[in-house]
Structure 1
Amino acid sequence: APGHASSYPFSLRFSMDDEARWLMAILRENGFSNFVLVGQSLGGYIGQVFAQLFPGALQGFVVIDSAPLQRCYITKAELWLLKRMEPVYRYLPWQWLLKQGTKGVATTEYGRKLMRSMMLVYDGDQPRYAALSGHGFRMLAEAIETNRPYSLTCPVLLICGTKDQAGSCKRYAKAWHKNTGFPLVWIEKAGHNSNTDAPAQVNACIERLMDSARKNT
C-alpha cells in the first residue's frame, strides 16, 4: 500500500479514489479484464470505491471483515473519531499498541504472529505508524462523507469473524446483510483478520463466489 515498504516515503495526500484508480491501472497494465476483487478491512472499502468509479468492471466482490461505505450505516460519533485517530496512535504507549494491535485483530497464534511482524516494521518510528494509520482513517471518513450510493451490482459475499473486535464491523456486517440480502458467512472464533485465523474456510468461500462469477460471464 502507498507509504508502506519500498514506496516509503510517500506523500499522504492521496484518497481512496486515487487508490482505486491506481488499482485499475495495475490490473489493465497486467492484462486483466475479468476479475473478482477480494478486500479485507481497508481493502473492502477500496473495493467499494472501485465499483463506484468503474461500474460493471467487477465480476464479483468478496468483503472480509470490512463494512459498507454508505453514510447511513455510521454514527456521527464514529465519523468524528475517524478523523482524529492519528494523535491517538501517536501518543498511546507503543508497547500497548503492539500488544493490542496483535491480539485485537487475530485469535490464532499464526494470525497474531503475522500482525506482529507487520507492526514491528514501525518499531522505533511510532510517528510514521501513526501518520499512516491516521491517514487511512481520514480517507475512510472522507469516502463516507461523499454520500455516494456505492451500489454493488456484481455477486457479493460478506465474510466476518465472530470474534471481530475492530470497531463495529460485526454490527455493520449484520446491517449490510439485512439491508441488501448479500450472503454473509460468519467465521467461527475468527478475529478481524479472519483470513489468517481460518484461511482454508475463507479460501473455500472465495472459491465459491468465483465459481458463481464464472457462470455469469
Structure 2
Amino acid sequence: MQATITGKFTDSRQVAENWFSAFAAGDISRLTGLLSDDVVWHVDGDPGVSTVGLLQGREKVVTWLKSFPQNFHAREFVISHYYGDQENVLAIGRFRHTILSTGQTVGSDMVIHFTVRDQQICRYQIYEDSLLLKQAFTVQQQPVHQQVRLNGTVYRYLDIGEGPILLFAHGLFLDGQAFRAQYKVLSQSYRCIVMDMPGHGQSSHSPSGWTLNTIAEDLALMIQELFHRPVTFIGQSQGGMVGIRLAARFPELVERMVLIGTSAREEPEFRITDWQLRCEILQNGTQQQRSQLFDRIQPLLNSRRWLEQFPQQAADDRQRMLHQDPQAMALALTAAVFTRGDIRSLLPDITVPVLVICGEDDPATPPELSMEIAHSLVSSELALLPETGHHPMLESAGQVTSLIRQFLEGPPRSA
C-alpha cells in the first residue's frame, strides 16, 4: 500500500479500510455504523444497472448494500493504493464480478472517493467502467467479446470462464474461433482469453504493418495491465511464435505455455517465392482468385483424413479465411512469414513448463521443428498426433483439449 502519511489521514484511511473489511464480510451492522445519517451515495452510469444512481440517507444506502449480493458475485476485489487527507480518501484498485441476472462477468479498474467526517463516511463515489457494466447487465445469447487498444491496435477477444488465465493466440488466416473446441471445455475450470490476432477476425491492424515482436509486446502490456498475474499462453503457428518471444522476453508474465504446430526457425528459402505469389493475390487479386487461393492453401495445411471426414467444417474454415480483410492478411503474412526471423536462440531462456503439440502430417511446420523446440527447452513435453496437420486444435480437437487439460493439472516443475 502507498499513501500520503499524516496523522489525520491515517484516521480517515482507517475508516475506509474498516469499510472494505466489513463489506468483504457482508457485515451490514458494521457498515451501517460507518455511515453518517445524511450520507450521499454516488454511482454514475446507466440506470439499467442495479447499483447506479444517487442516494442520500443511511437507510437508503443500507438497502443498497443489502441488494448488492443479490445482483453480483464478487470474483476479485483488490485495493492497491490509498491517497488523501484528513477528510478525503481515494482508494485505487480493481474488481471483477459476475452479474447474477445474466451470467456475464465484468472487471474494471476503479477509484473510490470517500469523504470522512467524525470517523464516519458522509459521501461515497466510485469511478469505474460504467459502459462495460451496462453491457454485462444485457442478456447475451453468445459470450460477450471485448476490445482493448494496445499500442494503437484494437484487439478483440473473448473472455469466458473463471480461474487461472489461459491466453489463446491463433495462427495465420484464422481467428479466435479456431480454439472453440478447447475453450468450451476449459472455460469450465479456467478463465479463457481468446484473441483475434492483428488483422484477423474483428481486431484492427496498422496499415503500415507489424511484426511478431510487436504483438508479443502488446500482449505483455495486456497481461500486465488487465490481468495482473502470469498466464498460461496457448499459441498455434504464428501464435506460438509470439508465445516464444513473450515467454523469453517477459518471463514473469508466463507460468506455462502450450505450443501447437509452430516453428522457431525462419521460413525456408524454397517457400518464399510461393508466399510472394500468394501475397500478391491477397493484395491485388479478385474475390474469385482469393477463393481459389484458399482452396489451394487448405490441403497444404490440413490432413487428408480431416478434409475427407469433415468437409463441411473444412468449407466453413475456407469461408472464414476468405472473409478476412485481404489487405490485412497480406500484412499478417508478411509478419508471420517474411519478417519473422530465427528465434531458436530464445528457447534456452524459457524456463517454464511447455507442452509442444504437432500433427504428424503437418506440412507447414513439420514434426521435426516441434522436436527441435522441445529438445531446446529447459522443461518440455512433446505430443505428436497421427493423421493430423497444421491445425491440431481443429483436426484432433478432443485430443488437444485432453492434452492441455492434463498438462495444466500436472504438478509444476522447476527449471
Band the TM-score falls in, shorter-chain normalisation: 0.7 to 0.9
What CA deviation, in whole Å up to 9, does each residue of 1:125-156 have, x standing for no partner? 75553343233212312xx2x77434210001
Q: Which of 323, 326, 341 is 1:121 aligned to?
A: 323
* Number of residue-to-residue matches in the alignment: 204
Report the equivalent of 1:18. 214
Change (3 A) 1:5 1:156: closer
1:98 matched to 2:294? The reply is yes
- 8 Å contact kept, 1:86–1:133: no
Normalised by the size of structure 2, how large is the TM-score? 0.43
Give me the whole-angstrom Cα distance separating, in 1, the residues matched to 2:269 and 2:335: 14
Change (3 A) 1:162 1:87: same
> Match of 2:233, SS?
strand
Higher strand share: 2
Report the equivalent of 1:130. 330
1:174 matched to 2:364? The reply is no
Change (3 A) 1:101 1:115: farther
Deviation of 1:100 (Å): 2.3
1:71-82 to structure 2, matched below 5 A, reads 78=268, 82=272
What letter is aligned with 1:133? Answer: L
Normalised by the size of structure 1, how large is the TM-score? 0.78
1:199 matched to 2:397? The reply is yes
Change (3 A) 1:9 1:153: closer
Q: Which of 32, 35, 51 is 2:247 aligned to?
A: 51
Change (3 A) 1:179 1:113: same
Larger radius of gyration: 2
> Match of 1:30, SS?
helix
Change (3 A) 1:84 1:97: closer
- 8 Å contact kept, 1:40–1:63: yes
What letter is aligned with 2:280? Answer: R
> Match of 1:62, SS?
strand
Report the equivalent of 1:35. 231
Deviation of 1:203 (Å): 0.8
Report the equivalent of 1:187. 385
Deviation of 1:50 (Å): 0.3
Give me the whole-angstrom Cα distance separating, in 2, the residues matched to 1:83 and 1:98: 17
Report the equivalent of 2:350. 152
Change (3 A) 1:97 1:178: same
Change (3 A) 1:184 1:44: same
Give me the whole-angstrom Cα distance separating, in 2, the residues matched to 1:147 and 1:215: 22
Deviation of 1:15 (Å): 2.1
Give me the whole-angstrom Cα distance separating, in 1, the residues matched to 2:357 and 2:323: 28
Percent of aligned pairs with the same residue?
Answer: 19
Report the equivalent of 2:186. none
Which gives a bigger RCO, structure 1 or 2 (Cα 8 Å, sep 6+)?
1
- 8 Å contact kept, 2:216–2:246: yes
What CA deviation, in whole Å up to 9, does each residue of 1:167-189 have, x standing for no partner? x4322123333444732101121
Over aligned residue pairs, what C-alpha RMSD do you find?
3.0
Once structures 1 and 2 are overlaid, which stretch shifts more, 40-49 or 175-184?
175-184
* Unaligned stretches of 5+ residues in structure 1: none
Change (3 A) 1:23 1:183: same
Change (3 A) 1:101 1:4: same
> Match of 2:301, SS?
coil
Change (3 A) 1:157 1:9: closer
Give me the whole-angstrom Cα distance separating, in 1, the residues matched to 2:237 and 2:413: 27
- 8 Å contact kept, 1:161–1:191: yes
